[in-house]
Amino acid sequence: MSTENLEPYWMPFTSNRAFKKAPRMLTAAKGHYYTDADGRQLLDGFSGLWTCGLGHCHPKIVAAVQSQVATLDYSMAFQMGHPQAFELAEKVVGLAPEGFTRIFFTNSGSEAADTALKISIAYHRARGEATRTRLIGREKGYHGVNFGGTSVGGMPLNRKVFSAVMIPGVDHIRHTHSLADMAFSKGQPTWGAHLAEDLERLVQLHDASNISALIVEPASGSSGILVPPVGYLDRLREICDKHGILLIFDEVITAFGRVGAAFGAQRFGVTPDIITVAKGLTNGVIPMGAVLVKESVYQALMSGPENLIELFHGYTYSGHPVAAAAGLATMQIYQEERSFAQVCDIEGTFETLLHELKAEPHVIDIRNIGLMGGVELAPRTGSPGARGFEVFMRCFNDGVVIRNSGDIIQLSPFFGSTEDELIRIIDTIRRALRALA
């Protein structure tokens, strides 16, 4: 049992008071397992927080970080450079869809989302279309917790308290989820491409000349694994092209293997104009995010005298040397271990096992793509989210870490998961569901 004073630390997205009464403290991790404060080994069914697809404490990343921190711990981020950031930039754009040639580093997915939104507005202005400032998100979208990301995001509980101070000029297209039309779809649902037409409604309302960008997750994670219907993203692309609207894919979860390709854009065969990433960029080891843009976006901003700053935006820790070293080691391992192909190899097994839960009590939907899985439970009357949290707790007590978002159980196993590990995760959830009221 841990003996720390738990009070000073205000934990993120956590029920602080409940946690501090019954803490779940993790003290070490290796490979696919955490060790908790009681010395128990817990199988991690969530790869950190969608972050560590390669497993915990990968020796090559550990070595890269140790060496970098002892060589160049920090280097001034503005008007100065260091080799690792440039090397990582080249490696990441090398994996990106064709046309993506430039990358701007941030420290998180939230910062990447806000950076992408700002770049879109700066881009249009630089091209003489300064009225294009409106931003469009999607209901149920998640783009982090900064003001821009919260505003274009569509998760009601994240927005409610801050409703009056959301940034102005933001609209949302409707989400793509419909239990009646797509429950228990395997992979991409065949129903729902027409929902992309909702973007036309907003164009008619505001006129395209006022709209900067549409931001969507190609497949949503945080709101409960919402997989894009077949043809839906293609249609969004067409409508954006028709009206000169930039299409931003928030790939903080889907980039770097989670859906069986370097980027969701490649898996779904639709190329946006801007892509945000984080999490898998460093296998979660050191915080880092980034925004990738097409050459045309970058070039539009490379105007004016050469000695002037082109974009008044950046972070003290943009391209941090230690994060960059972690990123470089991560990219090398993705290649050496064929990580993205590994995901494709086990995606079918994962899908089959996950959908076996259809027969279990309270299950009203199951959704999956790559190694992202969601199991939606019917809410307990008068107590939404209670069942989901109870499953999370039962699994934890039974030695497996999963995640719940309300009544949606979420899974994000490691790229190198064995079939036995996948079976154990699913069996543990099955036991928890059978024990639920």
Ligand X SMILES: Cc1ncc(COP(=O)(O)O)c(C=O)c1O
Please identify which residue in the block is written with the tokens 């079976």.
423
Q: Of 85, 155, 213, 252, which one interacts with ligand X (CB under 6 A)?
A: 252
Q: Which stretch binds ligand X (CB under 6 A): 130-138, 141-149, 316-324, 334-342?
A: 141-149
Q: Which stretch binds ligand X (CB under 6 A): 105-113, 333-341, 410-418, 427-435?
A: 105-113
Of 290 and 375, CB closest to ligand X:
290
Q: Which stretch binds ligand X (CB under 6 A): 159-167, 246-254, 264-272, 338-346?
A: 246-254
Give yes or no for residue 155 binding ligand X (CB under 6 A).
Answer: no
Q: Which stretch binds ligand X (CB under 6 A): 24-32, 109-117, 323-331, 406-414?
A: 109-117
Structure tokens at 153: 């995001």
* Three-class SS of the chain: CCCCCCCCCCCCCCCHHHHHHCCCCEEEEEECEEEECCCCEEEECCHHHHCCCCCECCHHHHHHHHHHHHHCCCCCCCCCCCHHHHHHHHHHHHHCCCCEEEEEEECCHHHHHHHHHHHHHHHHHHCCCCCCCEEEEECCCCCCCCHHHHHHCCCHHHHHHHHHHCCCCEEEECCCCCHHHHCCCCCCCCCCHHHHHHHHHHHHHHCHHHEEEEEECCCECCCCCECCCCCHHHHHHHHHHHHCCEEEEECCCCCCCCCCCCCHHHHHCCCCCEEEECHHHCCCCCCCEEEEEEHHHHHHHCCCCCCCCCCCCCCCCCCCHHHHHHHHHHHHHHHHCCHHHHHHHHHHHHHHHHHHHHHCCCEEEEEEECCEEEEEECCECCECCHHHHHHHHHHHHCCEECEEECCEEEECCCCCCCHHHHHHHHHHHHHHHHHCC
Least separation in angstroms between residue 251's CB and ligand X is: 7
Of 110 and 404, CB closest to ligand X:
110
Give yes or no for residue 253 binding ligand X (CB under 6 A).
Answer: yes
Q: Of 113, 155, 270, 331, which one interacts with ligand X (CB under 6 A)?
A: 113
Give yes or no for residue 110 binding ligand X (CB under 6 A).
Answer: yes
Please, what is the Cα angle at 336 between 332 and 339, to 5 degrees? 95
Q: Of 56, 58, 82, 143, which one interacts with ligand X (CB under 6 A)?
A: 143
Of 126 and 214, CB closest to ligand X:
214
Q: Which stretch binds ligand X (CB under 6 A): 108-116, 162-170, 190-198, 336-344?
A: 108-116
Q: Of 47, 101, 108, 342, which one interacts with ligand X (CB under 6 A)?
A: 108
Say how many residues touch ligand X, by CB under 6 A. Answer: 14
Least separation in angstroms between residue 419's CB and ligand X is: 27
Give the closest residue to 213 by CA, choosing from 307, 136, 291.
136
Q: Of 105, 142, 317, 414, which one interacts with ligand X (CB under 6 A)?
A: 142
Of 142 and 256, CB closest to ligand X:
142
Of 145 and 301, CB closest to ligand X:
145
Least separation in angstroms between residue 271's CB and ligand X is: 18
Least separation in angstroms between residue 46's CB and ligand X is: 11
The rounded distance, in Å, linking the Cα atoms of 153 and 155 is 6
Give yes or no for residue 250 binding ligand X (CB under 6 A).
Answer: yes
Q: Of 144, 228, 370, 406, which one interacts with ligand X (CB under 6 A)?
A: 144
Give yes or no for residue 222 binding ligand X (CB under 6 A).
Answer: yes
Least separation in angstroms between residue 144's CB and ligand X is: 3
Structure tokens at 436: 């639920």
The mark string for 257-296 relative to ligand X (x by CB under 6 A, - otherwise) is ---------------------x------------------
Site for ligand X, rule CB under 6 A: 108-110, 113, 142-144, 217, 221-222, 250, 252-253, 278
